[in-house]
Structure 1
């Protein structure tokens, strides 16, 4: 059965995008990351928020622009949106209901991961009790503003159990299992 994973590159101060959704800040940190490279073939589908799907691309102007993981992954993508495009993108399924999109992504993933892209979609997975794991790739930079990894006005505690800590020249990775009992 598919597991739901939120994997993301994050600044040390907790932002996954810079101001106005800027993702160009990531470029210096997109180098080799063996843990991410080992993860990619274990991803069966992507569950993506519309803003993330349509947003800035850290690979802009480079090979892999507009492709998942800079062209390193190919497979079924499910975009949660109430505004499907007039001309759908090939290989992308636009779904207007989160629960339906998640079920479709899990089915498509089989026994691999559903990789979540987008803070709002990750938040919905958390609120639905459907998030299984979190992989944070910490880039050694402070942004000061942007989209937070997780933002829940009034607070919401989610206990995590560390599975691994891996150091790489361009990032430090922390992999967690969501403590669904805690």
Structure 2
């Protein structure tokens, strides 16, 4: 069965996007990261939040536009309460978390389902659906924006560190979620 992976680049103060969901800050910090270069080949489907799907891409208008800096192509499953009337090639819209996850897992063919978006990741974590978390920590402090994980009123998710790798300009930390 395909595992759910919350993979995300973030600032050293744990923001994955700046104020208003701005992702442009990231472009200046995306350098080659050999330990992560093979990740797109391990992903079979994306589970994407609506804001992320419609949001800023730090590589918009370049050859690197899209998931994993344009290195990944495949099915996307967008979790949204506002399902569009017209279909988009390669994209399915769902208004139910469990149905979206099931569809993404089926499409992933045993590869990872990569979760993109803080809100959909939070929902998956709260539901106990996430198997692994990969954080790529970039050397910048944003001070405000969208946090990696935020749970109003508290609530923790236990993680077990699987690996850590350092490259110039980033630290990659891979965790297993302990349920």
Question: In the aligned structure 1, how far is the partner of 2:88 from the partner of 2:18?
Answer: 26
**Structure 2 match to 1:103:** 102
Give the CA deviation at 1:82. Answer: 1.3
1:77-116 residue pairs with structure 2 within 5 A?
A: 77-116=76-115
Whether 1:122 and 2:121 are equivalent positions in the alignment is: yes
SS at match of 2:37: helix
The structural deviation recorded for 1:96 is 1.3
Q: Distance in 1 between matches of 2:36 and 2:82?
A: 31
Q: Secondary structure at the match of 1:105?
A: helix
Q: CA deviation at 1:61?
A: 2.9
Which whole-Å deviations, capped at 9, do the CAs of 1:102-143 have from their partners, x for residues lacking one? 000011112110000000111111111111000000000000
> What is the TM-score with the length of structure 2 in the denominator?
0.97
Gaps of 5+ in 1: none
CA RMSD of aligned residues (A): 1.0
Name the counterpart of 1:57: 57
Greater than 4 Å deviation, 4+ residue runs: none
Alignment of 1:144-155 (within 5 A): 144-155=143-154
What TM-score, normalized to structure 1? 0.95
| Runs of at least 5 residues in structure 2 that lack an aligned partner in the other structure | none
